[in-house]
Amino acid sequence: MGPPVHYCKVSSQQEEGRLLEEQLREWIDQDVRLQDIAILSARTGDSSSIDCMSSDIKKILVDLTVDNVGSPPRDRIVTARISDFKGLERAFVALTDLDCLEDSPACLAAMYVGMTRAHAGLWLPVSKEFAPLLKKWQESVLPTLVKDKQENG
């Protein structure tokens, strides 16, 4: 069984950023170490809900790079594109910018990677645009993929 998933209804990128910030603060208030949290974005462009967060939260974020992938700073929350986080894990993961995903094998693979990176908690924003696709994936493919991962370790 995977970690608990917190689905959060969002209506805009700004609201997603605000609610993401609230979730990060909640985890921090629960004494989750910054190094145990990752924010993974489905968006490959410049614009992200991360941009909508306050400067005091942004200052504790660090982008995952080739130089720090082996030892990211312990006093920072790692941010990365979902595709760049394959093979890596954190206790708590927040997925962002899922509204850019389409009904394609590549996007389904990204969603699978994103949803299987967390050990203790997963935060997932759901916009009205993304909700039908998520429902389709949840009813068909994702349960099988996640079950296979759990059985095969």
CATH class of the domain comprising 5-152: alpha beta
Residue spans per domain, the chain: 5-152
Is pTM beyond 0.85? Reply is yes
Q: How far apart are CA 135 and CA 142, in angstroms?
A: 10
| pLDDT tens column, 5-49 | 999 999 999 999 999 999 999 999 999 999 999 999 998 767 899
| Contact (Cβ atoms closer than 8 angstroms) between residue 122 and residue 2 | yes
pLDDT attached to residue 68:
85
Whole-angstrom Cα distance, residue 142 to residue 134?
Answer: 9
pLDDT(1) > 60: no
Please check the confidence at residue 148 and state whether its pLDDT lies above 60: no
Question: Of 96, 112, 108, which Cα lies nearest the Cα of 2?
Answer: 112
Cα distance between residue 109 and residue 69, in whole Å = 21
Predicted local confidence at residue 71, as pLDDT: 83
